[in-house]
Amino acid sequence: MGRRSKQAEHSPEEIREMALAAAKRIVAKQGYGALSTRKVAADIGYAVGSLYLVFKNLDDLILHVNGSTLDDLHNALEATAVRCRDPETCLLALAREYIQFAFTNRALWSLVFEHPAPQRRPTWYQDKVARMFEMVEGQLRGIAPERAPKDLKLAAHALWSGVHGVSVLGLADRLDESGRAAAEKLAASLVTNYLVGFKQKTKNRG
């Protein structure tokens, strides 16, 4: 696309959204290595300078790309959560959805977890990460409402880091059987067995 005339045709907010969408397309199609501010600017038909009016630098653009990927992931998980019945079935369905998202959005998903984060990520970004664990925590609370909030939080982080590990190794094909079906089987084993321990501890305390 040619460069647009100097008189901006879009508001800064519109340029920002266009740039984010273009960056996501580039990462999804060509991988993270192909991403540059020059390429994003060319794709939306603006000069690189226009991009620097809405993003500080490439790292800032990537942070927002990752934030947008976390939104997509959240939407996918929420759509699953509203359909499922009991907390245990929901956690199994959420694990499957998490793995499916990772497999269908391979490059964007990897970028969220592999790109070195700035020393301190902004609050809006941290909130997007926390939201995912909170969804898991909510299901665990459904299983054991009497457990202390800090126990539920620990369990949510432990269990979901585990599901994350299955996705990571599944994607990297470091697992013995390859592909998504194998990853789903492992995640189901992880969730089911973990919940037996989680529920037993709850029973012993109750």
Tell me which residues touch its own copies (CB under 8 A): 113-114, 117, 129-130, 133, 153-155, 157-159, 161-170, 172-176, 185-187, 189-190, 192-198, 200-201
CB of 137 to its own copies, least distance (A): 11
Q: How far is the CB of 190 from its own copies (least distance, A)?
A: 5
The DSSP code sequence of 69-122 is: HHHHHHHHHHHHHTT--SHHHHHHHHHHHHHHHHHHTHHHHHHHHHSPPPSS--
Q: How far is the CB of 186 from its own copies (least distance, A)?
A: 4
Shortest distance, position 126 Cβ to its own copies, whole Å: 9
196: which 2 tokens? 């037996």
Nearer to its own copies, 83 or 205 (CB): 205
Query: Helices (H) and strands (E) in the chain — how many of each?
Result: 9, 0
**Which lies closer to its own copies via its Cβ, residue 9 or residue 173?**
173
- Complex with its own copies: residue 48 or 188, whichever CB lies closer: 188
Two tokens at 35? Answer: 């991403």
Do the Cβ atoms of 69 and 111 come closer than 8 Å? yes
User: Rounded to the nearest whole angstrom, what is the least distance from the CB of residue 157 to its own copies in the complex?
Assistant: 6
Determine contact, residues 15/44, Cβ cutoff 8 Å.
Answer: yes
Based on CB atoms, which residue is closest to its own copies, 52 or 103? Answer: 103
Which one, 6 or 174, has the nearer CB to its own copies?
174
In angstroms, the CA 43 to CA 15 distance is: 11
